[in-house]
Structure 1
Amino acid sequence: MSLISPLIPIILPVILCAAIGVVWVRCRQPFDHEFVRRIVLWVGVPALIVGTLGSTVISVELFKQVLLATTCMLVFTSIFAIIACWVLRIEPRNFVMPLVFGNFGNMGLPLCVFAFGQEGLAIGLAVFLTTTIAHFSFGVAVLSGKAVFKSVFGSPIIYAGIIACLLIFNHWDLPLSLQNTLGLLGGLSIPLMLITLGVSLNSLKLHQVGKSAGLGVLRLLVGLAGGFASVYFLDIDGLERKVILLQSATPVAVFNYLLAIQYRRAPDVVAGMVVSSTLLSFFSIPVLLYFLGV
Protein backbone atom coordinates (compact mmCIF):
# COMPACT_ATOMS: atom_id res chain seq x y z
CA MET A 1 0.00 0.00 0.00
CA SER A 2 2.91 2.35 0.69
CA LEU A 3 3.97 1.96 -2.96
CA ILE A 4 0.51 2.88 -4.26
CA SER A 5 -0.49 5.70 -1.90
CA PRO A 6 1.80 8.39 -3.44
CA LEU A 7 0.18 7.73 -6.83
CA ILE A 8 -3.42 8.07 -5.63
CA PRO A 9 -3.45 11.91 -5.70
CA ILE A 10 -2.27 11.74 -9.33
CA ILE A 11 -4.49 9.01 -10.76
CA LEU A 12 -7.64 9.36 -8.66
CA PRO A 13 -8.55 12.92 -9.83
CA VAL A 14 -8.33 11.73 -13.44
CA ILE A 15 -10.58 8.74 -12.74
CA LEU A 16 -13.10 10.75 -10.68
CA CYS A 17 -13.43 13.54 -13.25
CA ALA A 18 -13.89 11.00 -16.07
CA ALA A 19 -16.40 9.16 -13.88
CA ILE A 20 -18.45 12.36 -13.64
CA GLY A 21 -18.89 12.19 -17.41
CA VAL A 22 -19.99 8.55 -17.22
CA VAL A 23 -22.48 9.24 -14.41
CA TRP A 24 -23.75 12.36 -16.20
CA VAL A 25 -24.70 10.33 -19.26
CA ARG A 26 -26.09 7.44 -17.22
CA CYS A 27 -28.37 9.93 -15.44
CA ARG A 28 -29.62 10.97 -18.90
CA GLN A 29 -28.45 14.55 -18.51
CA PRO A 30 -27.93 16.51 -21.75
CA PHE A 31 -24.37 16.92 -22.98
CA ASP A 32 -23.70 19.08 -26.01
CA HIS A 33 -20.53 17.51 -27.45
CA GLU A 34 -20.12 20.13 -30.15
CA PHE A 35 -20.44 23.08 -27.75
CA VAL A 36 -17.99 21.55 -25.25
CA ARG A 37 -15.56 20.64 -28.02
CA ARG A 38 -15.62 24.18 -29.39
CA ILE A 39 -15.36 25.91 -26.01
CA VAL A 40 -12.37 23.72 -25.11
CA LEU A 41 -10.56 23.90 -28.46
CA TRP A 42 -11.38 27.52 -29.28
CA VAL A 43 -11.16 29.11 -25.83
CA GLY A 44 -9.94 26.88 -23.03
CA VAL A 45 -6.90 25.15 -24.52
CA PRO A 46 -5.58 28.24 -26.39
CA ALA A 47 -5.86 30.21 -23.14
CA LEU A 48 -4.13 27.38 -21.27
CA ILE A 49 -1.28 27.28 -23.81
CA VAL A 50 -0.66 31.04 -23.86
CA GLY A 51 -1.28 31.54 -20.15
CA THR A 52 0.89 28.63 -18.98
CA LEU A 53 3.74 28.84 -21.48
CA GLY A 54 3.72 32.63 -21.25
CA SER A 55 3.99 32.75 -17.45
CA THR A 56 5.91 29.57 -16.55
CA VAL A 57 9.66 29.93 -16.54
CA ILE A 58 10.70 27.69 -19.44
CA SER A 59 13.90 28.46 -21.31
CA VAL A 60 14.09 28.74 -25.07
CA GLU A 61 16.56 25.85 -25.12
CA LEU A 62 14.22 23.60 -23.12
CA PHE A 63 11.24 24.53 -25.28
CA LYS A 64 13.15 23.71 -28.48
CA GLN A 65 14.35 20.44 -26.97
CA VAL A 66 10.80 19.42 -26.05
CA LEU A 67 9.56 20.15 -29.57
CA LEU A 68 12.44 18.10 -31.02
CA ALA A 69 11.93 15.25 -28.53
CA THR A 70 8.20 15.12 -29.29
CA THR A 71 8.85 15.04 -33.04
CA CYS A 72 11.33 12.20 -32.53
CA MET A 73 8.80 10.38 -30.35
CA LEU A 74 6.19 10.59 -33.11
CA VAL A 75 8.69 9.42 -35.75
CA PHE A 76 9.86 6.43 -33.70
CA THR A 77 6.29 5.52 -32.73
CA SER A 78 5.22 5.71 -36.39
CA ILE A 79 8.05 3.37 -37.40
CA PHE A 80 7.14 0.87 -34.68
CA ALA A 81 3.43 1.13 -35.59
CA ILE A 82 4.07 0.53 -39.31
CA ILE A 83 6.25 -2.49 -38.51
CA ALA A 84 3.56 -3.85 -36.17
CA CYS A 85 0.88 -3.43 -38.87
CA TRP A 86 3.10 -5.21 -41.37
CA VAL A 87 3.78 -8.11 -38.97
CA LEU A 88 0.10 -8.42 -38.03
CA ARG A 89 -1.00 -8.01 -41.65
CA ILE A 90 -3.49 -5.25 -40.94
CA GLU A 91 -4.16 -2.14 -43.02
CA PRO A 92 -1.65 0.56 -41.93
CA ARG A 93 -3.85 3.43 -43.15
CA ASN A 94 -6.60 2.28 -40.78
CA PHE A 95 -4.55 1.73 -37.65
CA VAL A 96 -1.22 3.61 -37.75
CA MET A 97 -2.79 6.88 -36.59
CA PRO A 98 -4.60 5.40 -33.56
CA LEU A 99 -1.38 3.60 -32.66
CA VAL A 100 0.69 6.79 -32.93
CA PHE A 101 -1.51 9.51 -31.48
CA GLY A 102 -2.28 8.99 -27.83
CA ASN A 103 -4.55 11.02 -25.59
CA PHE A 104 -1.96 13.76 -25.07
CA GLY A 105 -4.67 16.31 -24.19
CA ASN A 106 -7.63 14.87 -22.28
CA MET A 107 -5.50 12.50 -20.21
CA GLY A 108 -1.89 13.60 -20.73
CA LEU A 109 -2.25 17.20 -19.57
CA PRO A 110 -4.11 16.40 -16.31
CA LEU A 111 -1.51 13.74 -15.49
CA CYS A 112 1.29 16.25 -16.11
CA VAL A 113 -0.38 18.73 -13.74
CA PHE A 114 -1.02 16.26 -10.93
CA ALA A 115 2.35 14.51 -11.25
CA PHE A 116 4.74 17.39 -11.98
CA GLY A 117 2.96 20.70 -11.29
CA GLN A 118 3.03 23.82 -13.45
CA GLU A 119 6.50 23.17 -14.88
CA GLY A 120 5.39 19.71 -15.93
CA LEU A 121 2.22 21.20 -17.44
CA ALA A 122 4.31 23.65 -19.50
CA ILE A 123 6.38 20.80 -20.94
CA GLY A 124 3.23 18.72 -21.45
CA LEU A 125 1.62 21.59 -23.35
CA ALA A 126 4.64 21.82 -25.66
CA VAL A 127 4.20 18.08 -26.33
CA PHE A 128 0.47 18.56 -26.90
CA LEU A 129 1.05 21.48 -29.28
CA THR A 130 3.49 19.49 -31.41
CA THR A 131 1.32 16.37 -31.55
CA THR A 132 -1.79 18.41 -32.38
CA ILE A 133 -0.08 20.01 -35.37
CA ALA A 134 1.13 16.59 -36.53
CA HIS A 135 -2.28 14.98 -36.02
CA PHE A 136 -4.18 17.63 -37.97
CA SER A 137 -1.65 17.63 -40.84
CA PHE A 138 0.24 14.36 -41.28
CA GLY A 139 -2.43 12.28 -39.51
CA VAL A 140 -5.35 13.60 -41.52
CA ALA A 141 -3.29 13.32 -44.72
CA VAL A 142 -2.70 9.61 -44.06
CA LEU A 143 -6.39 8.97 -43.39
CA SER A 144 -7.70 11.01 -46.30
CA GLY A 145 -4.96 10.22 -48.80
CA LYS A 146 -4.22 13.88 -49.49
CA ALA A 147 -2.55 16.84 -47.83
CA VAL A 148 -4.94 18.88 -45.69
CA PHE A 149 -3.76 22.34 -44.63
CA LYS A 150 -7.11 23.94 -43.84
CA SER A 151 -7.63 21.81 -40.72
CA VAL A 152 -4.20 22.86 -39.42
CA PHE A 153 -4.45 26.60 -39.91
CA GLY A 154 -8.13 26.62 -38.99
CA SER A 155 -7.33 25.57 -35.42
CA PRO A 156 -6.95 28.31 -32.75
CA ILE A 157 -4.49 26.01 -30.94
CA ILE A 158 -1.94 26.65 -33.70
CA TYR A 159 -2.19 30.41 -33.30
CA ALA A 160 -2.02 30.09 -29.52
CA GLY A 161 1.18 28.11 -30.01
CA ILE A 162 2.60 30.86 -32.22
CA ILE A 163 1.80 33.49 -29.58
CA ALA A 164 3.35 31.30 -26.86
CA CYS A 165 6.50 30.88 -28.97
CA LEU A 166 6.77 34.66 -29.42
CA LEU A 167 6.47 35.15 -25.66
CA ILE A 168 9.11 32.52 -24.90
CA PHE A 169 11.63 33.45 -27.59
CA ASN A 170 11.39 37.19 -26.88
CA HIS A 171 11.18 36.83 -23.07
CA TRP A 172 7.98 38.88 -23.01
CA ASP A 173 5.67 38.97 -20.01
CA LEU A 174 1.92 39.32 -20.23
CA PRO A 175 0.16 42.02 -18.17
CA LEU A 176 -1.10 40.65 -14.87
CA SER A 177 -4.74 41.30 -15.75
CA LEU A 178 -4.35 39.29 -18.98
CA GLN A 179 -2.53 36.49 -17.13
CA ASN A 180 -5.39 36.25 -14.65
CA THR A 181 -7.96 36.21 -17.46
CA LEU A 182 -6.12 33.45 -19.31
CA GLY A 183 -5.76 31.55 -16.04
CA LEU A 184 -9.53 31.59 -15.53
CA LEU A 185 -10.29 30.55 -19.09
CA GLY A 186 -7.55 27.93 -19.22
CA GLY A 187 -8.69 26.48 -15.91
CA LEU A 188 -11.89 25.17 -17.46
CA SER A 189 -10.03 23.06 -20.02
CA ILE A 190 -8.67 20.17 -17.98
CA PRO A 191 -11.84 19.28 -16.03
CA LEU A 192 -13.98 19.65 -19.16
CA MET A 193 -11.60 17.44 -21.17
CA LEU A 194 -11.74 14.73 -18.50
CA ILE A 195 -15.53 14.88 -18.21
CA THR A 196 -15.77 14.71 -22.00
CA LEU A 197 -13.47 11.69 -21.93
CA GLY A 198 -15.88 9.97 -19.54
CA VAL A 199 -18.89 10.86 -21.69
CA SER A 200 -17.13 9.57 -24.81
CA LEU A 201 -16.02 6.32 -23.19
CA ASN A 202 -19.58 5.63 -22.05
CA SER A 203 -20.92 6.09 -25.57
CA LEU A 204 -18.28 3.94 -27.29
CA LYS A 205 -18.91 0.22 -27.62
CA LEU A 206 -16.43 -2.60 -27.95
CA HIS A 207 -16.48 -4.29 -31.36
CA GLN A 208 -14.31 -7.25 -32.33
CA VAL A 209 -13.21 -7.38 -28.69
CA GLY A 210 -10.11 -9.51 -29.19
CA LYS A 211 -8.73 -7.42 -32.04
CA SER A 212 -9.62 -4.10 -30.34
CA ALA A 213 -8.07 -5.10 -27.02
CA GLY A 214 -4.95 -6.41 -28.72
CA LEU A 215 -4.48 -3.19 -30.69
CA GLY A 216 -5.22 -1.19 -27.52
CA VAL A 217 -2.36 -2.97 -25.75
CA LEU A 218 -0.20 -2.43 -28.84
CA ARG A 219 -0.84 1.34 -28.68
CA LEU A 220 0.47 1.47 -25.11
CA LEU A 221 3.53 -0.59 -26.06
CA VAL A 222 4.53 1.22 -29.26
CA GLY A 223 3.83 4.61 -27.68
CA LEU A 224 6.06 3.94 -24.70
CA ALA A 225 8.70 2.37 -26.97
CA GLY A 226 8.67 5.54 -29.07
CA GLY A 227 9.05 7.65 -25.92
CA PHE A 228 12.00 5.60 -24.66
CA ALA A 229 13.65 5.66 -28.09
CA SER A 230 13.29 9.45 -28.22
CA VAL A 231 14.76 10.20 -24.78
CA TYR A 232 17.55 7.66 -25.35
CA PHE A 233 18.39 8.98 -28.83
CA LEU A 234 18.50 12.61 -27.64
CA ASP A 235 20.02 11.74 -24.22
CA ILE A 236 17.24 13.52 -22.33
CA ASP A 237 16.91 13.31 -18.56
CA GLY A 238 15.25 15.11 -15.68
CA LEU A 239 11.68 16.39 -15.75
CA GLU A 240 11.58 16.58 -19.55
CA ARG A 241 12.32 12.84 -19.75
CA LYS A 242 9.54 12.03 -17.29
CA VAL A 243 6.95 14.13 -19.12
CA ILE A 244 7.87 12.73 -22.54
CA LEU A 245 7.59 9.16 -21.25
CA LEU A 246 4.32 9.88 -19.45
CA GLN A 247 2.77 11.48 -22.52
CA SER A 248 4.04 8.68 -24.77
CA ALA A 249 2.23 6.08 -22.62
CA THR A 250 -1.24 7.63 -22.94
CA PRO A 251 -4.05 5.56 -24.52
CA VAL A 252 -5.64 6.04 -27.93
CA ALA A 253 -7.10 9.53 -28.28
CA VAL A 254 -10.88 9.76 -28.71
CA PHE A 255 -10.32 12.06 -31.67
CA ASN A 256 -8.93 9.08 -33.62
CA TYR A 257 -12.41 7.56 -33.46
CA LEU A 258 -14.02 10.72 -34.85
CA LEU A 259 -11.53 10.82 -37.72
CA ALA A 260 -12.05 7.10 -38.36
CA ILE A 261 -15.77 7.77 -38.76
CA GLN A 262 -15.16 10.74 -41.04
CA TYR A 263 -12.77 8.86 -43.34
CA ARG A 264 -14.33 5.38 -42.88
CA ARG A 265 -11.21 3.80 -41.42
CA ALA A 266 -12.54 0.87 -39.33
CA PRO A 267 -14.32 3.10 -36.78
CA ASP A 268 -15.78 0.19 -34.78
CA VAL A 269 -12.35 -1.31 -34.13
CA VAL A 270 -10.84 2.11 -33.37
CA ALA A 271 -13.65 2.72 -30.85
CA GLY A 272 -12.72 -0.54 -29.16
CA MET A 273 -9.08 0.54 -29.12
CA VAL A 274 -10.02 3.78 -27.35
CA VAL A 275 -12.03 1.98 -24.67
CA SER A 276 -9.63 -0.91 -24.08
CA SER A 277 -6.43 1.18 -24.04
CA THR A 278 -7.98 3.77 -21.71
CA LEU A 279 -9.13 1.12 -19.24
CA LEU A 280 -5.72 -0.57 -19.39
CA SER A 281 -3.93 2.75 -18.88
CA PHE A 282 -5.49 3.14 -15.43
CA PHE A 283 -3.24 0.22 -14.48
CA SER A 284 -0.22 0.79 -16.73
CA ILE A 285 0.27 4.49 -16.02
CA PRO A 286 0.57 4.05 -12.22
CA VAL A 287 3.26 1.43 -12.89
CA LEU A 288 5.07 3.90 -15.16
CA LEU A 289 4.76 6.71 -12.59
CA TYR A 290 6.27 4.43 -9.96
CA PHE A 291 9.09 3.56 -12.37
CA LEU A 292 9.68 7.29 -12.95
CA GLY A 293 9.98 7.83 -9.21
CA VAL A 294 6.93 10.08 -8.87
Structure 2
Amino acid sequence: MFATLLDIVIPVFAVVAFGALYGRLRGGAELGYVNRANIELFTPALVFSALIKYPLALGDHLPLIAAGALVILLPGLLLSLVRFKEMERAALILPAMFRNTGNLGIPLMVLAFGEQQLGAIVILFVLSNLLHFSVGIFLLSANASRWLWLRSPMLWAALAGLLVANLQIPLPAYVVTSASLLGQLSVPLMLFALGIRLMEGELEHLGLALKCNLLYLLAGGLSLAFVVWLLPLDPAWIPLLTLSVALPPAVLNYMLCEQYQCQPEKVASIVLGGNALSVLVIPLAVWLALHLGG
Protein backbone atom coordinates (compact mmCIF):
# COMPACT_ATOMS: atom_id res chain seq x y z
CA MET A 1 0.00 0.00 0.00
CA PHE A 2 2.86 2.39 0.81
CA ALA A 3 4.43 1.74 -2.61
CA THR A 4 1.04 2.37 -4.24
CA LEU A 5 0.70 5.60 -2.30
CA LEU A 6 4.10 6.75 -3.51
CA ASP A 7 3.10 5.92 -7.09
CA ILE A 8 0.22 8.39 -6.71
CA VAL A 9 1.83 11.10 -4.57
CA ILE A 10 5.23 11.33 -6.30
CA PRO A 11 3.76 12.32 -9.71
CA VAL A 12 1.81 15.05 -7.93
CA PHE A 13 5.04 16.46 -6.49
CA ALA A 14 6.80 15.99 -9.83
CA VAL A 15 4.33 18.26 -11.66
CA VAL A 16 4.58 20.84 -8.85
CA ALA A 17 8.39 20.64 -9.11
CA PHE A 18 8.32 21.20 -12.88
CA GLY A 19 6.13 24.24 -12.31
CA ALA A 20 8.55 25.55 -9.70
CA LEU A 21 11.54 24.96 -12.01
CA TYR A 22 9.81 26.65 -14.93
CA GLY A 23 8.84 29.62 -12.75
CA ARG A 24 12.42 29.92 -11.49
CA LEU A 25 13.96 29.73 -14.98
CA ARG A 26 11.47 32.20 -16.45
CA GLY A 27 11.57 34.57 -13.51
CA GLY A 28 7.93 33.92 -12.66
CA ALA A 29 4.90 33.60 -14.89
CA GLU A 30 1.54 35.31 -15.31
CA LEU A 31 -1.04 32.91 -13.89
CA GLY A 32 -4.23 34.93 -14.11
CA TYR A 33 -5.24 33.83 -17.60
CA VAL A 34 -4.34 30.17 -17.04
CA ASN A 35 -6.08 29.95 -13.67
CA ARG A 36 -9.21 31.63 -15.00
CA ALA A 37 -9.38 29.20 -17.93
CA ASN A 38 -8.96 26.28 -15.54
CA ILE A 39 -11.72 27.42 -13.19
CA GLU A 40 -14.14 28.50 -15.90
CA LEU A 41 -13.57 25.75 -18.49
CA PHE A 42 -11.30 22.81 -17.68
CA THR A 43 -12.49 21.96 -14.15
CA PRO A 44 -16.20 22.23 -15.05
CA ALA A 45 -15.52 19.91 -18.00
CA LEU A 46 -13.84 17.44 -15.63
CA VAL A 47 -16.86 17.24 -13.32
CA PHE A 48 -19.38 17.16 -16.18
CA SER A 49 -17.58 14.26 -17.86
CA ALA A 50 -17.18 12.37 -14.55
CA LEU A 51 -20.90 12.63 -13.82
CA ILE A 52 -21.78 11.33 -17.28
CA LYS A 53 -19.28 8.47 -17.03
CA TYR A 54 -20.42 7.42 -13.54
CA PRO A 55 -24.16 8.15 -13.21
CA LEU A 56 -25.35 8.30 -9.60
CA ALA A 57 -28.50 6.92 -7.96
CA LEU A 58 -28.83 9.85 -5.58
CA GLY A 59 -31.90 8.53 -3.78
CA ASP A 60 -30.00 5.47 -2.53
CA HIS A 61 -27.17 7.58 -1.13
CA LEU A 62 -28.93 10.33 0.83
CA PRO A 63 -27.30 9.41 4.18
CA LEU A 64 -23.88 9.42 2.47
CA ILE A 65 -24.61 12.82 0.91
CA ALA A 66 -25.59 14.21 4.32
CA ALA A 67 -22.47 12.70 5.93
CA GLY A 68 -20.21 13.98 3.14
CA ALA A 69 -21.62 17.50 3.49
CA LEU A 70 -21.14 17.48 7.26
CA VAL A 71 -17.52 16.29 7.18
CA ILE A 72 -16.83 19.16 4.78
CA LEU A 73 -18.73 21.91 6.57
CA LEU A 74 -18.09 21.06 10.23
CA PRO A 75 -14.27 21.49 10.08
CA GLY A 76 -14.86 24.94 8.60
CA LEU A 77 -17.19 25.76 11.46
CA LEU A 78 -14.65 24.55 14.03
CA LEU A 79 -11.78 26.46 12.39
CA SER A 80 -13.88 29.64 12.31
CA LEU A 81 -13.45 29.66 16.10
CA VAL A 82 -9.64 29.75 15.75
CA ARG A 83 -7.82 33.06 15.35
CA PHE A 84 -4.57 33.42 13.42
CA LYS A 85 -3.32 36.99 13.14
CA GLU A 86 -1.46 36.20 9.94
CA MET A 87 -4.39 34.46 8.22
CA GLU A 88 -7.61 35.83 6.80
CA ARG A 89 -10.61 33.78 7.86
CA ALA A 90 -11.50 32.50 4.38
CA ALA A 91 -7.86 31.53 3.66
CA LEU A 92 -7.77 29.54 6.89
CA ILE A 93 -11.17 27.86 6.54
CA LEU A 94 -11.22 26.79 2.87
CA PRO A 95 -8.32 24.30 3.03
CA ALA A 96 -9.88 22.80 6.19
CA MET A 97 -13.12 22.10 4.35
CA PHE A 98 -12.13 21.12 0.84
CA ARG A 99 -9.75 18.21 0.50
CA ASN A 100 -8.08 16.59 -2.51
CA THR A 101 -10.98 14.23 -3.27
CA GLY A 102 -10.22 14.24 -7.02
CA ASN A 103 -6.77 13.44 -8.34
CA LEU A 104 -5.60 11.89 -5.03
CA GLY A 105 -8.80 10.79 -3.29
CA ILE A 106 -10.45 8.89 -6.15
CA PRO A 107 -7.47 6.66 -7.09
CA LEU A 108 -6.60 6.03 -3.43
CA MET A 109 -10.15 5.01 -2.51
CA VAL A 110 -10.54 2.78 -5.55
CA LEU A 111 -7.22 1.05 -4.81
CA ALA A 112 -8.06 0.63 -1.13
CA PHE A 113 -11.75 -0.30 -1.32
CA GLY A 114 -12.36 -1.54 -4.87
CA GLU A 115 -14.27 -0.35 -7.91
CA GLN A 116 -17.54 -1.54 -6.39
CA GLN A 117 -17.39 1.62 -4.26
CA LEU A 118 -16.83 3.92 -7.25
CA GLY A 119 -20.38 5.32 -7.19
CA ALA A 120 -20.04 6.40 -3.55
CA ILE A 121 -16.54 7.77 -4.21
CA VAL A 122 -17.78 9.93 -7.10
CA ILE A 123 -20.64 11.21 -4.91
CA LEU A 124 -18.11 12.49 -2.36
CA PHE A 125 -16.03 14.05 -5.14
CA VAL A 126 -18.98 15.82 -6.80
CA LEU A 127 -20.41 16.95 -3.46
CA SER A 128 -17.07 18.48 -2.48
CA ASN A 129 -16.86 20.36 -5.77
CA LEU A 130 -20.45 21.61 -5.56
CA LEU A 131 -19.85 22.97 -2.07
CA HIS A 132 -16.45 24.35 -3.10
CA PHE A 133 -17.99 26.42 -5.86
CA SER A 134 -20.98 27.53 -3.81
CA VAL A 135 -20.10 27.79 -0.10
CA GLY A 136 -16.41 28.33 -0.86
CA ILE A 137 -16.99 31.20 -3.26
CA PHE A 138 -19.61 32.62 -0.88
CA LEU A 139 -16.89 32.82 1.80
CA LEU A 140 -14.31 34.29 -0.57
CA SER A 141 -16.63 36.94 -1.99
CA ALA A 142 -17.11 38.84 1.28
CA ASN A 143 -16.40 42.12 -0.49
CA ALA A 144 -18.44 41.25 -3.56
CA SER A 145 -21.99 40.16 -4.27
CA ARG A 146 -23.07 37.22 -2.11
CA TRP A 147 -24.81 35.79 -5.17
CA LEU A 148 -21.59 35.67 -7.18
CA TRP A 149 -21.35 31.90 -6.64
CA LEU A 150 -24.41 31.43 -8.85
CA ARG A 151 -22.25 32.55 -11.78
CA SER A 152 -19.80 29.68 -11.20
CA PRO A 153 -19.42 27.51 -14.34
CA MET A 154 -18.49 24.63 -12.03
CA LEU A 155 -21.87 24.70 -10.32
CA TRP A 156 -23.84 24.69 -13.57
CA ALA A 157 -21.60 22.02 -15.11
CA ALA A 158 -22.30 19.75 -12.12
CA LEU A 159 -26.03 20.35 -12.32
CA ALA A 160 -25.98 19.71 -16.08
CA GLY A 161 -24.04 16.48 -15.57
CA LEU A 162 -26.51 15.27 -12.94
CA LEU A 163 -29.43 16.13 -15.21
CA VAL A 164 -27.96 14.39 -18.27
CA ALA A 165 -26.98 11.30 -16.28
CA ASN A 166 -30.21 10.86 -14.32
CA LEU A 167 -32.55 11.59 -17.24
CA GLN A 168 -30.36 9.46 -19.52
CA ILE A 169 -30.21 12.21 -22.13
CA PRO A 170 -28.19 10.89 -25.11
CA LEU A 171 -25.21 13.01 -26.12
CA PRO A 172 -23.12 12.72 -29.30
CA ALA A 173 -19.88 10.85 -28.71
CA TYR A 174 -17.84 13.89 -29.81
CA VAL A 175 -19.44 16.00 -27.04
CA VAL A 176 -18.52 13.47 -24.36
CA THR A 177 -14.99 13.06 -25.75
CA SER A 178 -14.46 16.83 -25.97
CA ALA A 179 -15.57 17.32 -22.36
CA SER A 180 -13.28 14.51 -21.23
CA LEU A 181 -10.27 15.95 -23.08
CA LEU A 182 -10.84 19.41 -21.63
CA GLY A 183 -11.25 17.96 -18.15
CA GLN A 184 -7.96 16.09 -18.39
CA LEU A 185 -6.16 19.44 -18.55
CA SER A 186 -7.50 20.56 -15.19
CA VAL A 187 -5.44 18.75 -12.55
CA PRO A 188 -1.98 19.05 -14.21
CA LEU A 189 -2.53 22.78 -14.73
CA MET A 190 -3.53 23.21 -11.08
CA LEU A 191 -0.36 21.48 -9.90
CA PHE A 192 1.89 23.30 -12.38
CA ALA A 193 0.49 26.69 -11.33
CA LEU A 194 0.97 25.76 -7.67
CA GLY A 195 4.65 25.09 -8.31
CA ILE A 196 5.10 28.47 -9.99
CA ARG A 197 3.42 30.22 -7.05
CA LEU A 198 5.66 28.46 -4.53
CA MET A 199 8.76 29.82 -6.27
CA GLU A 200 7.61 33.41 -5.74
CA GLY A 201 9.32 33.67 -2.39
CA GLU A 202 6.67 32.24 -0.08
CA LEU A 203 8.30 29.05 1.20
CA GLU A 204 8.75 30.69 4.61
CA HIS A 205 5.06 29.97 5.27
CA LEU A 206 5.67 26.22 5.54
CA GLY A 207 5.79 26.40 9.36
CA LEU A 208 2.38 28.01 9.38
CA ALA A 209 1.24 25.42 6.83
CA LEU A 210 2.22 22.53 9.11
CA LYS A 211 0.38 24.04 12.06
CA CYS A 212 -2.74 24.63 9.96
CA ASN A 213 -2.72 21.11 8.50
CA LEU A 214 -2.48 19.51 11.94
CA LEU A 215 -5.48 21.58 13.03
CA TYR A 216 -7.35 20.50 9.90
CA LEU A 217 -6.75 16.82 10.67
CA LEU A 218 -7.95 17.31 14.25
CA ALA A 219 -11.08 19.14 13.10
CA GLY A 220 -11.73 16.47 10.45
CA GLY A 221 -11.39 13.65 12.97
CA LEU A 222 -13.80 15.29 15.41
CA SER A 223 -16.29 15.95 12.63
CA LEU A 224 -16.08 12.36 11.40
CA ALA A 225 -16.71 10.96 14.89
CA PHE A 226 -19.78 13.17 15.27
CA VAL A 227 -21.18 12.19 11.85
CA VAL A 228 -20.71 8.44 12.44
CA TRP A 229 -22.51 8.80 15.77
CA LEU A 230 -25.31 10.93 14.33
CA LEU A 231 -26.26 9.26 11.04
CA PRO A 232 -27.37 5.73 10.09
CA LEU A 233 -24.57 4.99 7.63
CA ASP A 234 -23.85 1.90 5.58
CA PRO A 235 -20.71 0.38 7.17
CA ALA A 236 -19.06 0.37 3.72
CA TRP A 237 -19.25 4.19 3.62
CA ILE A 238 -17.40 4.81 6.90
CA PRO A 239 -13.94 3.89 5.48
CA LEU A 240 -14.53 6.28 2.55
CA LEU A 241 -15.40 9.12 4.91
CA THR A 242 -12.41 8.28 7.12
CA LEU A 243 -10.00 8.56 4.22
CA SER A 244 -11.71 11.69 2.87
CA VAL A 245 -11.02 13.70 6.06
CA ALA A 246 -7.36 12.57 6.01
CA LEU A 247 -6.71 13.82 2.47
CA PRO A 248 -4.57 16.94 1.99
CA PRO A 249 -6.14 20.28 1.01
CA ALA A 250 -7.21 20.54 -2.63
CA VAL A 251 -5.02 22.51 -5.03
CA LEU A 252 -8.24 24.25 -6.10
CA ASN A 253 -8.17 26.16 -2.79
CA TYR A 254 -5.06 27.96 -3.96
CA MET A 255 -6.53 28.72 -7.39
CA LEU A 256 -9.70 30.24 -5.98
CA CYS A 257 -7.74 32.27 -3.42
CA GLU A 258 -5.54 33.47 -6.28
CA GLN A 259 -8.61 34.54 -8.23
CA TYR A 260 -10.15 36.36 -5.24
CA GLN A 261 -6.79 37.68 -3.94
CA CYS A 262 -7.19 36.04 -0.53
CA GLN A 263 -3.61 35.34 0.60
CA PRO A 264 -2.85 32.89 -2.24
CA GLU A 265 0.83 32.64 -1.28
CA LYS A 266 -0.03 31.30 2.19
CA VAL A 267 -2.71 28.98 0.86
CA ALA A 268 -0.19 27.61 -1.67
CA SER A 269 2.14 26.74 1.20
CA ILE A 270 -0.72 25.12 3.13
CA VAL A 271 -1.56 22.97 0.10
CA LEU A 272 2.06 21.92 -0.38
CA GLY A 273 2.55 21.24 3.35
CA GLY A 274 -0.63 19.16 3.45
CA ASN A 275 0.50 17.04 0.51
CA ALA A 276 3.90 16.49 2.13
CA LEU A 277 2.25 15.49 5.41
CA SER A 278 -0.07 13.12 3.56
CA VAL A 279 2.82 10.71 2.91
CA LEU A 280 2.69 9.96 6.66
CA VAL A 281 -1.00 10.53 7.33
CA ILE A 282 -2.67 8.63 4.49
CA PRO A 283 -1.11 5.19 5.15
CA LEU A 284 -2.34 5.48 8.76
CA ALA A 285 -5.77 6.60 7.56
CA VAL A 286 -6.00 3.71 5.07
CA TRP A 287 -5.02 1.22 7.79
CA LEU A 288 -7.68 2.65 10.11
CA ALA A 289 -10.30 2.76 7.35
CA LEU A 290 -9.67 -0.87 6.39
CA HIS A 291 -10.07 -1.93 10.00
CA LEU A 292 -13.29 0.05 10.32
CA GLY A 293 -14.58 -1.51 7.12
CA GLY A 294 -13.58 -4.99 8.16
TM-score, reference length from structure 2: 0.77
Displacement of 1:280: 2.2
Q: Which residue of 2 aligns with 1:229?
A: 226
Percent identity between the aligned chains?
20
After superposition, what is the alpha-carbon deviation per residue over 1:219-277, rounded to whole angstroms, capped at 9, x for unaligned? 23213433443344334346654444444334443247547844xxx777656544533
Matches within 5 A, 1:115-126: 115-117=108-110, 119=118, 120-121=121-122, 123-126=124-127
| Deviation larger for 32-41 or 47-56 | 32-41
Question: Contact (CA 8 Å) 2:68, 2:124: kept in 1 or not?
Answer: no
Contact kept? 1:66, 1:240, Cα under 8 Å: yes
Distance 1:285 1:204 in 2: 29
2:162: which partner in 1?
Answer: 165
For 1:278 and 1:169, the matched residues in 2 are separated by: 35
Q: Distance in 2 between matches of 1:223 and 1:247?
A: 9
Name the SS of the counterpart of 2:88 in structure 1: helix
Deviation (angstroms), 1:159: 0.9
Structure 2 CA distance, aligned partners of 1:180 and 1:77? Answer: 37
Matches for 1:88-103 after TM superposition, within 5 Å:
90=84, 94-95=88-89, 98-102=92-96
Distance (Å, rounded) in 2 between the aligned partners of 1:208 and 1:190: 24
Q: Over residues 103-131 of structure 1, what are the superposed CA-to-partner deviations in whole Å (9 max), with x where a residue is unaligned?
A: 847x4311133224583345413322223
Q: Shift in Å at residue 90 of structure 1?
A: 4.5
SS at the partner of 1:186? helix
Match of 2:13 among 12, 15, 29: 15
In the other structure, the counterpart of 1:54 is 52
1:1-294 aligned within 5 A? 4-28=2-26, 31-62=29-60, 64-83=62-81, 85=82, 90=84, 94-95=88-89, 98-102=92-96, 104=98, 107-117=100-110, 119=118, 120-121=121-122, 123-137=124-138, 139-140=139-140, 143-144=142-143, 148-150=146-148, 152-203=149-200, 205-206=202-203, 211-237=208-234, 240-252=237-249, 253-255=253-255, 257-258=257-258, 261-262=261-262, 273-293=270-290
Counterpart residue identity of residue 157, structure 2 = A
Partner-residue secondary structure (3-state), 1:174: coil
Bigger shift: residues 232-241 or 195-204: 232-241
Q: Where does structure 1 lack aligned partners over 5 or more consecutive residues?
A: none
RMSD: 3.5
Instruction: Compute the displacement of 1:39 (Å).
Output: 2.1
User: Is there any run of 5+ residues in structure 2 with no aligned partner, and where?
Assistant: none
Q: CA–CA distance in 2 between the matches of 1:208 and 1:12?
A: 22
TM-score normalised to the size of structure 1?
0.77
Moved more, 244-253 or 188-197: 244-253
> Counterpart of 2:192 in structure 1: which amino acid?
I
CA distance, structure 2, for counterparts of residue 240 and residue 20 of structure 1 = 36
Aligned AA (1:61): G
